[in-house]
Chains A and B, each alone.
Chain A
Amino acid sequence: MSIDANKAVVGRYFHELWNEKRGDVLPEIAREPVTFNFPSGQAHRPPDLTTWYETAQVAFPDVHFELNLQIAEGDLVAVHWSYVATNTGPFLGRPATGKTVTDTGVTIFRIEGGLIEEMWMVQDSLGLMRQLGVITT
């Protein structure tokens, strides 16, 4: 697959799956179970993309991503993103807070045969946990 095709798959991941809430496109853009590489501080560690998406639809159903930077080479696509979301359902075993949160981070995707195979992510988990009131220190 070309670099442009890989970028297009990642574009669909953010715009169609997350922003337009089209769970039906998941099999067209990812091969489950996608391998996740979470940093140690990440609180929410779902086993696969389907679970992640379904959890987010309950906890943060209005989540909306903006793509700030997109850099692709070989089989990798790196995206610097931001999102805004409102916590209107249970998350991390805690009831909904009703709070609107923002977060920013970078995800690097490995694409194989037009499908997302692996993801490495880092995000501002400290800021997120503070906004949700999980961490008060």
Chain B
Amino acid sequence: MSNSPAANNAIAIHFFDSVWNKGDFGVLESLISPDADDHSTVGGQPKTERGSASFRGIVSMFRAGMPDIRLTIDDEVFAGDKVVHRWHLVGTDTGGLMGMPPSGKELRFSGTTIVRMQDGRIVERWANVDELGLLQQLGVVPPPPGH
């Protein structure tokens, strides 16, 4: 049975709020299909992984580096079996990220996540994140030319 687009959006909001803002990783098992395809870009390379492990790893890393991290959803677009969220994350870097020592700085970065839902669970996820903006704030790479 498929849910309405609005019901899919409500599930997606609950999922991302639970994981990012509450550290409730139980929903990784209950709301991501074990054979879900997870598409992301890391280090400038696109990759696709199976199941919830890759997303768990990303959230674990950021919650360890920024324990006060907060996800805010800025826009929601949902139709058919897909939900698009435009979001930003804000947190204080007290634990260190990307192999860097803690900067103590408040970091802010943005992205979009698209999920495809089936029977109330995420069966595919596309994450597009301003990774370069984050690395620039961390001082890992220099600011862009002209800045």
Contact = CB atoms under 8 A, between A and B. Distances in A.
A106 B44 contact: no
A39 to B, nearest CB: 3
B13 to A, nearest CB: 15
Interface stretch (B27-35, B51-59, B137-145): B137-145
B140 A71 contact: no
B86 A120 contact: yes
B77 A106 contact: no
B129 interface: yes
Given A73-B78, A80-B128, A106-B128, A92 B45 contact: no
A88 interface: no
Contacts of A130: 44
A124 B41 contact: yes
Nearest to A130: B44
Contact of B130 (A3, A71, A76, A125): A125
B64 interface: no
A115 B44 CA distance: 33
A135 B131 CA distance: 13
A7 B142 CA distance: 38
Interface string B5-22: 100000000000000000
A92 B147 CA distance: 11
Contacts of B109: 39-41
B128 A125 contact: no
Contacts of A43: 132, 144-146
A19 interface: no
A94 B41 contact: no
A129 interface: yes
Contacts of A94: 145
Interface string A97-137: 00000001110100000000000101111111111001101
A124 B128 contact: yes
B54 to A, nearest CB: 16
Given A41-B133, A80-B114, A123 B128 contact: yes
A122 B145 contact: no
Interface of A: 3, 39-43, 69, 71-74, 76-78, 80, 92-94, 104-106, 108, 120, 122-131, 134-135, 137
21 contacts: A40-B109, A41-B136, A41-B144, A42-B130, A43-B146, A69-B126, A71-B77, A73-B77, A93-B145, A105-B128, A106-B84, A106-B114, A122-B110, A124-B128, A126-B44, A126-B135, A127-B44, A129-B44, A129-B141, A134-B144, A137-B141
7 pairs of A and B residues whose beta carbons are closest in the complex:
A41-B133, A41-B132, A127-B44, A39-B130, A40-B133, A43-B144, A126-B132
